Amino acid sequence: MTDWNPYTQRARDWFETLRTRICAAFEEIEREAGSDAAFTYTPWDRSTEDGSEGGGGVRAVMKGRVFEKVGVNVSTVQGEFAPQFAATINGASADAPGFTATGISLVAHMANPHVPAVHMNTRFLTTSKAWFGGGADLNPPIPYPEDTEAFHAAFRAACAPFDPTWYERFARWADEYFFIPHRGVARGVGGIFYDHLECPDDAQWDRHFAFTRGVGEAFLRVFPRIVRQRMGTEWTPADRQTQLEWRGRYAEFNLVYDRGTLFGLKTGGNVDAILMSLPPEAVWS
């Protein structure tokens, strides 16, 4: 069996570097808006029933003038899945429940209703198999077609060097995944979503790791640009009401359907880190 520890460490190092760069970029935007808001970093350890080493992570949260609430979390955990949950995970089973997982997860809820909220997550997991997954999607309460196109163009470009079919496939996957069945509406305007990019050998690991890094770089290029373009837009109480109602739907999706939320809760993750995706304020009409 492959020793995945060095691969997990390499992925972890990248996710931590990406977090540092994203947090710095977001703090720079706050400075441009005349705010001294900064991220607060809170380490946490994963507890296990048998007292074995379970890993942990760092929760980074900022509440500012532009970013009403943004969380950028990195975690690296290991252990065993519960038997029933193991059956739902690629390469795991009741007989082989062991896993490792490392990843970065970001959700930003913005103060100005004209600035889109956003989600980004990339991860590397090992069971009896090893694979990358993740993606990013834009969630505007008040959509602008040019923002949607810029966001999609960034991830189309990220996919292009690896497989000409990936963007269409992963964009369609995002549309299907980020959908609220009980509302019959999409959560936002999409992006890309991918999973189970398996790594049966070093060549595939290198390729899929390079793609995952490309996803992070694409996010870092496009989202701050969209924020700067919209953060000075004047807004009305009606715009704020639209935003708060939209946030209610965002919360519904994350609590009812999101697989990442379920994975974190089922594996004993830090509850505050898992639920940092919830907006600071929302309404239900």
Phi, psi of 13 (to 5 degrees): -60, -40
The whole-angstrom separation of Cα 264 and Cα 269 is: 5
E-assigned strands of the chain?
40-45, 55-62, 67-80, 98-110, 117-126, 130-139, 179-180, 185-186, 190-198
The catalytically annotated residue of 114, 119, 152, 208 is 119
Residue 119 designated active-site: yes
Number of residues that this document lists for the chain: 285
Q: Which residues, other chains included, contact 86 with Cβ-Cβ below 8 Å and sequence gap of 6+?
A: 80, 92, 93, 94, 96, 97
Q: Which residues, other chains included, contact 133 with Cβ-Cβ below 8 Å and sequence gap of 6+?
A: 122, 123, 125, 194, 195, 196, 197
Tokens standing for residue 96: 């082989």
Residue of 209, 197, 161 whose CA lies nearest to 12? 209
List residues with catalytic annotation: 119
